[in-house]
Amino acid sequence: MTSALQVFMLPDLGEGLTEAELINWLVAVGDEIRVDQPIAEVETAKSVVEVPSPYAGTVAELHGEPGQTLDVGKPLISVARVGSLAGAGADDAAPAPSPDEEPVVETAAANAYREEEKAGSGNVLIGYGTPGGAGQSRRTRAPRQLSVVEPAEAPDLDLSLLRTRVPGKLGAVISPLVRRMAREHGVDLGDLHGSGDSGLIMRRDVEAAISSPDVDARPVVEASPVAEPSRAVGDTPAGTDSRTGLPISARTPVKGVRKVVAANMTRSRQEIPEATVWVDVDATALVELRAGLKKSDPHNAPGLLAFIARFVTAGLKRFPELNTRIEAAADGAQEIVAFDGINLGFAAQTDRGLTVPSIRNAEKLSARELDAEIRRLTAVVREGKGTPEQLGSGTFTLNNYGVFGVDGSAAIINHPEVAILGVGRIMDKPWVVGGELAVRKVTELTLTFDHRVCDGGTAAGFLRFVADAIENPGSVLAEL
């Protein structure tokens, strides 16, 4: 006899991630749900995504609380099949399976596309088909896996094999969930003495440390020949930094967008031998061109960034080395991958952090069309609704940090791209024009590039092309 519960595992939402933060439940236990109904909002790398259910039925259990980080492949929600709870009492509505019975997990990974076509669903997640409709999804029993549990749940476990301990520093911790809880709440495991067997640190020990931050979580023990020296309570207050002696005002877990940005920037600096070139540009003609268009058509004049984006795509056609990516070939050697097209990313600051949506096939768009896409995608990411395709498919990035009132920046390349162009603020500066000093609208362009894909001549050629286009926009636009 199989279980009436269908367990929906948190899928990979298309970004290759291993975890996501649960933002909000859209359903509650006892609710009747249908196939493709949104059941939860989760925060992925750079967007908030509504997760649809592949099952119809009654919500039996929600596996997680808002704010909790969930691992991909772990249970998200349990759904009882329609009618399976009819006539059942409160105590036997969802009976637990017997010890020798494995839960049945419905999957359709190999037939996802076929099932989607049959069901007509637009919300099928990667790794899941829609089991409804004319198709019949195949059932397979989930393989037995060794779970990491607390010792109270598995008294026969060999603690010497499972616990993690550095003598004199970290207490024994068996559960990665306990380690994560301690890390997210700023609890130093070195200050804890576990209440479990052999000093094992349990979840209750970390919870006690969180609820009583002003009390040293490690009790004073009697001195013995084998005991490590104890520290008197109050030697180092829990709210004081041991290195500086200053009070700690806050601890903020690095997660969500900030965590992804940090990992991506770290990888970029570790892997890419970057170099930077820059040039000051007289943008007076471009500013005047845009002002003239705005005067004649106040509502449809492209912004300055759209014009620069148009010049960038034209420059990348002439210097395609900067619109590539480096990958490892099958034999382990590196190879440069070129693209037939340009997906132009642009940095957009949002309340949730820095995002880089990309305009697909940007080389085919006019300045006016680029302006419309920049405005549309900016609104999308600021609402937290950017898709993985929009946020992870760029081939070159344009960064307008001038909006923050700065002149220049040696930006970090958005891995795995090979170059990023930065635009500083446009300001009045003295400039020599025709041998005479004049006040002009000047900006600084900064190009950071991967020295593996090209040398300085190529980078300088591209930068100079964009600079010349800004200084003489009319002639360049006429040729595009």
Which of the residues are catalytic? 451
Nearest to 395 by CA among 327, 337, 345: 345
- Residues 358/344, Cβ–Cβ less than 8 Å: yes
Could you please report the per-residue DSSP string of 257-316? Answer: HHHHHHHHHHHHHHH--EEEEEEEEE-HHHHHHHHHHHHH-TTTPPPHHHHHHHHHHHHH
DSSP 247: B
Tokens linked to 437: 């000093």
SS3 41: strand
DSSP 395: S
CA dist., res. 442 & res. 427, Å (int): 5
Query: Quick one: residue 80, left, alpha or beta (phi over 0 = left, psi -120 to 50 = alpha)?
Result: beta
CA dist., res. 126 & res. 418, Å (int): 29
SS3 253: coil
DSSP lists the bridge partners of residue 266 as: none
The helices-and-strands tally (H runs, E runs) of the chain is 11, 24
Nearest to 139 by CA among 3, 306, 17: 3
CA dist 313 → 258, 316, 362, 410 (Å) = 29, 5, 7, 21
Other CB atoms closer than 10 Å to residue 80's CB: what's the count?
A: 23
Nearest to 448 by CA among 433, 467, 462, 427: 462
Could you please report the per-residue DSSP string of 80-122? Answer: EPTTTTTT--SSSSSPPPPTT-PPEEE--STTHHHHHHHHT-S
